[in-house]
Amino acid sequence: MKEKISIFVILLLYIGFLAFHYINANNKLVLKVVTPTIIQIDINNNRKLDENETICIPGVSSYTSNLQYYINEIESISSEDGLAIGYLADEFANSQLTYKKVKLKYNGIKRPQCTEAEIIVENKKYSDILKSSGFAIIDGKEVNEYAFKKIKSKAKSLNLSIYNHISNKYHKLNCKYGQSAHDAVVLPEKELPKDAAPCKFCYIKPTNKNKLKTKILLPPPTILSSGNMKVILADYTQVLKPDSSCNHTVCKEFLSLVNNTNETLDIALYGWTEIPKVKKALKSAERRGVKIRIIYDTQSYKDNYYPDTEHLIKEFKNTKSDEIAGKKSLTNALMHNKFAISDQKKVFTGSMNFSKTGFSGFNQNNILIINSTEIADIYTKEFEQMYSGKFHNLKENPNQNSIKKLDDSNIEIYFSPQDKSITKRVIPLVNSAKKNIYIPAFLITHKELTNSLINSHKRGIYVKIILDATNTSVRHSTVKELKNAGIPVKVENYAGKLHSKVIIIDDKYVITGSTNFSNSGENKNDENMLIIENPKIANFYSDYFEYLWKKIPDKCLKFNPPAESKYSIGSCADGIDNDFDGKIDKDDEGCK
């Protein structure tokens, strides 16, 4: 009898496995809404757009603000009204489809640029959703006349412009120069870059009497000196293209660190991009007798993400990679640190990679420069472990997590993977929050941290989160769970990466460093994390968070802007592969 029950249970489990596999195989992820009726879907489940993955909805059309696809669908509607209606239609379509799992029902018709298919989302036909919304048009007539009238009325109240990323000019919706621009997007005027200029053909230069009233959101301070610690925040909303000039504050600070080092300089870097001034300073330091040691991640250059790393390590003799012979799984973990120790007295650390996108301020990063022999000693001991060949889970736990006093700050220092800092320290701090929790982060995939944030929100703590656009659709992203729980989460819409890994709690604690809020960040990679108790520093971080929150439009609470597209400011003219699909700017589908 027991054998029969066991066989029955095994069969049920097997059937369940097959059903789970079937469901997942038939559910496809929506990658991007091109227009409300042209949708790009990950049909082969490789998390990127390939040929034959563009779907057209049969038998129905709609207005769109995508200038490359705009057609005046109804004769009585002006192009100005049509683009405004299209802006609302695009927002609606994105809210219904972006990054959702859908099913496809093909009708056998293939067009030159797409394949026709009905999309089933949450057990409903997307075409029916479009029809009931009022955005659907069939044979030049609105399907839902009553809803369309309300949409048209709302569209007239929008204050929209056509913004050209390349020329940095904005146009009225009916301007022929704006409509014909290659790299242009329809935006509310409040979302225009503050340095954007009006098109001289469609905007009359205002006099003092009729001068356009615009609110300029002034950035808060991005540098704070607090005794023996300096904090620098890179405002990536002001830098829309990376360069190698080393003119940004973060690069100048690192140059100063190198130039003022007299004996030893230990550098732990995930990846390296050639910055001439930094390279020259390092070589100059070596010539004057400074012993330079470098540890680096193997995968970052072997995967061609930071190919210049290989050039750097050839220039210096004291280098060590995290490659562990015969242990592929350990080697595949990341040496993800980004810190330097000068003369065993000063520590330069934070979220910034030693790269063009980091040193130029193109990515949003946070950097700490700490003048303390005690803290430098802690980082040196961690560096020595790795330099001796002990990376990842081979490292020992030095048990040095006691609170260090530095001026007005209490500082705790943790290293992954040995310290399990998210589980043992970050989550308890989140659980004990009394007022607010602000998080500007590259990603959140850590399930237990996500649950603690949701529970904090439920008990009345004010939780707000900003996440980077590249990571909202990664396999373990918890952005959907956070949003479904009612937590306000904005997905940023700038060309650079929101690369910080920060949590601000009760305007008292700041959690920062290189550690992403992920299982890998806690349990696999080599990382460093600092927890700083200092209200002055916490308020400094909070002010920047609120500034960034206001700069990112409220529509990004519901809509996730693709990282390389007309919806991410500057991403189609920065020379960077923002979404890691091998295509840049005009060659990327999002910018066409």
User: Average pLDDT of 292-316?
Assistant: 89
* The residue to which tokens 């954007």 are assigned: 196
581 vs 586: CA distance, rounded Å: 13
Whether the pLDDT of residue 25 is over 80: the answer is: no
The highest-confidence range among 188-197, 286-295, 394-403, by mean pLDDT, is 286-295
Whether the pLDDT of residue 128 is over 90: the answer is: yes
380-384 LR contacts (CB < 8 Å, sep 24+): 380/266, 380/341, 380/344, 382/415, 382/528, 383/266, 383/268, 383/293, 383/295, 383/341
**Cα 436 from chain centre:** 22
Which of 131, 497, 499, 583 is flagged as catalytic?
Answer: 499
Q: What is the pLDDT of residue 7?
A: 63
Run of H or E including 269: strand 264-269
**Residue 551: is it exposed, middle or buried by C-beta count within 10 angstroms (0-12/13-18/19+)?**
buried
Whether the pLDDT of residue 22 is over 50: the answer is: no
- For 467-493, give one letter per residue: b (16+ CB within 10 A) or e: bbbbbbbeeebbbebbbebebebbbbb
Q: What is the pLDDT of residue 344?
A: 96
What are 547's two structure tokens?
């500034």
Q: What are the two backbone dihedrals, phi and then psi, of residue 405, each rounded to the nearest 5 degrees?
A: -95, 125
User: Average pLDDT of 93-122?
Assistant: 90
**Residue 553: is it exposed, middle or buried by C-beta count within 10 angstroms (0-12/13-18/19+)?**
middle
Which of 235, 243, 377, 506 is flagged as catalytic?
Answer: 506
User: Average pLDDT of 217-223?
Assistant: 87
Q: What is the pLDDT of residue 5?
A: 64
Question: CA 472, 475, 478: angle at the middle one, nearest 5?
Answer: 55
412 vs 277: CA distance, rounded Å: 33
277 vs 572: CA distance, rounded Å: 28
Q: In what order do the strands lie in the sheet with 291-296?
A: 223-226, 229-233, 366-371, 346-350, 338-342, 264-269, 291-296, 319-321
311 DSSP 8-state letter = H
Q: Which pLDDT band holds residue 126 (cuts at 50, 70, 90)?
A: very high
Q: Give all strands (DSSP E) within 477-516, no chain letters.
A: 489-491, 503-505, 509-513
Closest to 67 measured CA to CA, from 165, 167, 183 = 183
CB of 166 closer than 8 Å to CB of 573: yes
pLDDT in tens, 222-239: 999 989 999 999 999 999
536 vs 164: CA distance, rounded Å: 40
Q: Which pLDDT band holds residue 45 (cuts at 50, 70, 90)?
A: confident
Q: Which pLDDT band holds residue 207 (cuts at 50, 70, 90)?
A: very low
CB of 515 closer than 8 Å to CB of 521: yes
Q: How many CB atoms are closer than 10 A to CB 310?
A: 13
Annotate 82-149 with DSSP letters as a single string.
Answer: HHHHHHHHHHHHHHHHTT-EEEEEEEEEE-SS-EEEEEEETTEEHHHHHHHHT--EETTEESSHHHHH
Q: Looking at the structure, give the CATH architecture of the domain made up of residues 223-557.
A: 2-Layer Sandwich (3.30)
Q: Which one-letter amino acid corresponds to residue 248?
A: H
Q: What is the pLDDT of residue 274?
A: 93
3-state SS class at 275: coil
Q: Tell me if residue 21 is catalytic.
A: no
Whether the pLDDT of residue 12 is over 70: the answer is: no
User: Average pLDDT of 307-315?
Assistant: 91
Q: Tell me if residue 499 is catalytic.
A: yes
Question: CA 542, 546, 550: angle at the middle one, nearest 5?
Answer: 170
Q: What is the pLDDT of residue 20?
A: 43
| Average model confidence (pLDDT) across the chain | 89
436 vs 73: CA distance, rounded Å: 48
CB of 116 closer than 8 Å to CB of 55: yes
Q: Which one-letter amino acid corresponds to residue 470?
A: T
Q: Which pLDDT band holds residue 210 (cuts at 50, 70, 90)?
A: very low
Which of 501, 524, 551, 583 is flagged as catalytic?
Answer: 501
In CATH terms, 2-157 corresponds, of 3.40.50.300, 2.60.40.420, 3.30.230.10, 2.40.50.90, to 2.40.50.90
Q: Tell me if residue 392 is catalytic.
A: no
Domain residue extents for the chain = 2-157, 160-216, 223-557
Across 298-307, 464-473, 499-508, least confident range: 298-307
pLDDT in tens, 151-188: 989 988 889 999 887 788 899 998 888 888 767 889 88
Q: Give all strands (DSSP E) within 380-508, no chain letters.
A: 404-406, 409-416, 436-441, 462-467, 489-491, 503-505
User: Average pLDDT of 532-544?
Assistant: 96
Pairing of strands 54-56, 115-121: parallel
How many residues are given for the chain?
A: 592
Annotate 65-83 with DSSP letters as a single string.
Answer: S-TTT----STTS-HHHHH
Share of the chain above pLDDT 70, in %: 93
309 vs 289: CA distance, rounded Å: 23
Whether the pLDDT of residue 205 is over 60: the answer is: no
Closest to 541 measured CA to CA, from 468, 442, 462, 438 = 438
Whether the pLDDT of residue 242 is over 70: the answer is: yes
pLDDT in tens, 376-397: 999 999 999 999 999 999 998 8
Q: What is the pLDDT of residue 399?
A: 63
* The residue to which tokens 């640190």 are assigned: 337
Q: Which pLDDT band holds residue 400 (cuts at 50, 70, 90)?
A: low
Annotate 173-201 with DSSP letters as a single string.
Answer: TT-HHHHT-SSEEEEEGGGS-TT-EE-TT
